[in-house]
Amino acid sequence: MNFAPLPSVDAASVPADALVLDVREDDEWVAGHVEGALHVPMSDFVARFGEVTEAVADGRRAYVMCRVGGRSAQVTQYLVQQGIDAVNVDGGMLAWDGAGRPMVTDSGSPAFVL
């Protein structure tokens, strides 16, 4: 069986206004996340799939992110199989932070990658 290569981008090239889909768990999200990202933990993904399809209904590309890129790769593959324009963010939040991209917390405390 042949699989197409997984579409991916590096953190530095994610557009500022992109739809970032964060599939990390709640504790990781609380520590720090991309402002405006859609948070749907991988463990809840199938149950909350409707939120994702709603977010990309206008044909927006989803930039899928986790901590280092493993979970997001699985989710990206699933989305692509559903016909959704999705790309995996290589290196995840660690690469995002390493590229100096902004992160926020809901509490206002300093953001970090858990």
63 with 20: CB under 8 angstroms?
yes
Backbone phi and psi for residue 39, each to the nearest 5 degrees, phi listed first: -100, 110
Please identify which of the residues 40, 66, 111, 113 carries the catalytic annotation. Answer: 66
Strand positions, DSSP E, 37-107: 38-39, 62-65, 86-90
Assess whether 29 carries a catalytic annotation. no
Q: What angle is formed at CA 25 by the lines to CA 72 and CA 66, rounded to 5 degrees?
A: 25
Q: Which residues are catalytic?
A: 66
